[in-house]
A = this chain, B = another copy of it.
Amino acid sequence: MRTALGIDIGGTDIKLGIVDEAGKILESGTIPTRAAEGPRAAALRIDEWYRRSSGADPGVSAAGADCAGLIDGSRGWLYVSPNLPGWGGIDLASLLREALRLPVTLDNDVNCAAWGEYLHGAGRGTEHFICITLGTGIGGGVVIGGRLYRGWQGLAGEVGHQVVTEAGPMCTCGTVGCLEAAANAASIVRRARDLIADGGASVLPATGPLTAREVFEAATRGDRVALEALAMTGRALGRGLANLVHLFNPEVIAVGGGVAGAGELILAPAREAMREMLMDEVLAEVRIVPAALGNSASLVGASMMAFATAER
């Protein structure tokens, strides 16, 4: 079976893997990104890992890279990445190609996660599939008729920046009302704080540091404030899901990313809010499910994109 090199470039670390065509990660590693040293230095360090790993054997036919940001996947162009300051406006795929001497694809991390989930995870067997990642930000990838949908400039699927309200805090993009601001990890902490300030009894601290994970852990132990904070974020997410269903009419929407770790405590209220908003019962047949591949969805998806390119 052929193998590909997967390259998942984050702001802090680069996850690397040798992945076979069945989506199995045969070998994996992590190296620091050191974004300030620039993309060329990172490419050389990726090549170093690749040469040391068993992936240097001739079975590796191509490499697939991904990172967060605005990327035109059809030509491997990185417009801008929030986690990689100074890397914007470059042909990152070509840069990696030169270092690795392999065909290289580049796409948005969320598009790659969606592609991985579509082929080997929660989207298997569907034709109209959307994968959302919920974390610090909210991203999405859309598969239409068995193909990743990129749009005119390769920038489709920015599900986190659809506006769903005129209230709420300003999003990192500068707009008030984005789904991202209404349903990301920070929204859970914000809601828990607000409920405590309003007199809600909770094991959570009223001041000082607090993470979404801590809220989730309190919720699993039955803390009412924590449960309500998760449910409120779930309902906000449901507004975004209803919009996606009205616009794309997908068969399955998978929800992954850090916040999705809260599982049904988020997804159940999200489904309920979504169903209340859908204009017809037929549309409510969409299935909202947890993503299946966890943290490795992007790495697997990027690798699968590499195979497709190697075939050309």
Contacts and interface: CB of A to CB of B under 8 A. Distances in A.
B163 A282 contact: no
B80 A280 contact: yes
Contact of A155 (B79, B144, B249): B249
Contacts of A79: 280, 282
The residue among A144, A158, A175, A246 with the most chain B CB atoms within 10 A of its own CB is A246
A157 interface: yes
A247 B150 CA distance: 9
A102 interface: no
Q: How large is the interface on A (under 10, 10 to 19, 20 to 34, 35 or more residues)?
A: 35 or more
B163 A166 contact: no
A152 B244 CA distance: 12
Contacts of A128: 151-152
Interface in A146-187: 149-159, 161-167, 173-175, 177
Interface in A247-286: 247-251, 276-277, 279-280, 282-283, 285-286
Contacts of A70: 279-280, 282
A156 B248 contact: yes
A193 to B, nearest CB: 21
Interface string A273-301: 00011011011011000000000000000
The residue among A156, A159, A242, A286 with the most chain B CB atoms within 10 A of its own CB is A156
A120 interface: no
Given A149-B144, A279-B173, A163 B161 contact: no
Contacts of A47: none
Given A150-B249, A158-B246, A163-B242, 6 more contacts: A156-B247, A157-B249, A162-B246, A165-B177, A175-B279, A247-B247
Interface of A: 70, 79-80, 126-128, 142, 144, 149-159, 161-167, 173-175, 177, 239, 242-244, 246-251, 276-277, 279-280, 282-283, 285-286
14 contacts: A127-B152, A128-B151, A142-B247, A144-B149, A150-B249, A151-B249, A152-B249, A155-B282, A156-B248, A157-B249, A158-B249, A162-B162, A162-B243, A174-B279
